[in-house]
Amino acid sequence: MPPVRGTSFVTFILSRILLPCILPCAAALPAAGAEGPLAALDRIYPDLETLYVDLHRTPELSLQEEKTAAKLADRLRDLGFEVTERIGGHGVVGLLRNGDGPTVMLRTDLDGLPIEEKTGLEYRSAATAVNSDGETVPVMHACGHDVHMTSWIGAATLLAGARDRWRGTLMMVGQPAEEIGLGAGAMLDDGLFSWFPRPDYAFAIHDNANLPAGRIGYTPGAALASADSVDIEIYGKGGHGAYPHTTIDPIVIASRIVVALQTVVSREINPLDPGVITVGSFHAGSKHNIIPDRAHLQLTVRAYSDAVRAHLLSGIERIARAEAEAARAPQPPLVTASQGTSPTINDPDLSRRLARRLASDLGADRVVELPPVMGAEDFSLYGRAGVTAAIFWVGAVEPQRYDAAQAAGTPLPSLHSPLFAPDREPTLRTGTAAMTLAALELFGESDSE
């Protein structure tokens, strides 16, 4: 798959002093005429905001990101990148070669979610799409991938205009299908690190629905969990509800499985090794007085280590089989795991190095260490492919709203909520700044002579 040659590039004249430190939770807003690696951010911000609004209004489902990918590819070409499209589906790769030095990969995800937006924003999404089951569903960027893409383009723009400050190869990766955990693997399987340079470093951001806009969070080591979807089909012997002795009730078997599964975490896993088994769906039967012949459970499973992950998955199958056998089920249950994503382990040294750089440029109070979370990200696969990698959080909550929620003890809309709406300008500026400064640090930024 030969790369598509890029076209023109845009140059921004940048000078060389660092941004002054600014107050916690304030937006990254360089004053007019400010100098340093982010000096051009004021100039390009209106265009970034236009892009963000467009992306927010036009989300596409996982594996359907054709138009979104094309928008990003066109932007990279205009900046002088060599651009290749359709890697692992609708994946985009842009290369900007700038002499000898490391290869630094900046990654964004592209896909939206099948959620109806209820934020009330003037630019809210009214998009719909046909899903894999043939159903027409609403689509929304409820996980902030529009923030990630806009910040990614912002960083590409600033770095393309500041090539006197760094040497190496900038590798921009636009990844599809993150929401279903398939995109990173698909791009790797399609030769991401064979057709293109294997990066020395990979960096990404993710917006955070519980962190004030203007702040950046980092987690050395285990940052996000593995995620596996598990289906259990339980077989019984159906019959009349008035004569249960003539049946083998799969609802009772399934209920015992649900209760027994909780002991895998509470009694089989070291309490210092977190794990989660959640039964999110229980389907069985169709009428009050009919005992069905099947029941179906759907689970999500989370862990921070491969060993715990393997134990949880094997424990689920062991318990399901044992409960079915104890109830004399006519056949063993069918247990299938799918959409598996590995734990995301940030390189500790890299995480701390980048945190120091961001704190130095943006202000120490704006960069905070955060505990790991049980969410999942297929960004993990780039690290597993041998790349030194880290993903950071970017706050997305309007600071006054965050303070009010903390004072009142009320929850904020979470990621994947129909009410989730990032505080647009400070979130975009901070995301752009984080990606730009991280890349410059990894390139070993130097002033031109």
Joined together, the tokens standing for residue 262 give: 């909780």
- Other beta carbons within 10 Å of 306: 12
Conformational region of residue 36, where left means phi above 0, alpha means psi within -120 to 50, and beta covers everything else = left
Q: How far apart are CA 206 and CA 212, in angstroms?
A: 13
- Reduced to 3 states (helix: H, G, I; strand: E, B; else coil), residue 330 is coil
Note whether 93 and 171 are within 8 A (CB): yes
Joined together, the tokens standing for residue 95 give: 């290369």
Q: How far apart are CA 185 and CA 110, in angstroms?
A: 15
Note whether 233 and 250 are within 8 A (CB): no
Q: How far apart are CA 237 and CA 329, in angstroms?
A: 8
The 3 state secondary structure assigned to 234-267 is: EECECEECCCHHHCECHHHHHHHHHHHHHHHHHH
- Reduced to 3 states (helix: H, G, I; strand: E, B; else coil), residue 114 is coil
Query: Which residues are catalytically annotated?
Result: 111, 178
Buried b (16+ CB within 10 A) or exposed e, 262-274: eebbeeebeeeeb
CA distances from 234 to 149, 239, 248, 374, 391 (A): 43, 16, 11, 28, 39
Q: How far apart are CA 31 and CA 160, in angstroms?
A: 21
- Reduced to 3 states (helix: H, G, I; strand: E, B; else coil), residue 405 is helix
CA distances from 206 to 81, 145, 147, 298, 364 (A): 24, 8, 8, 27, 20
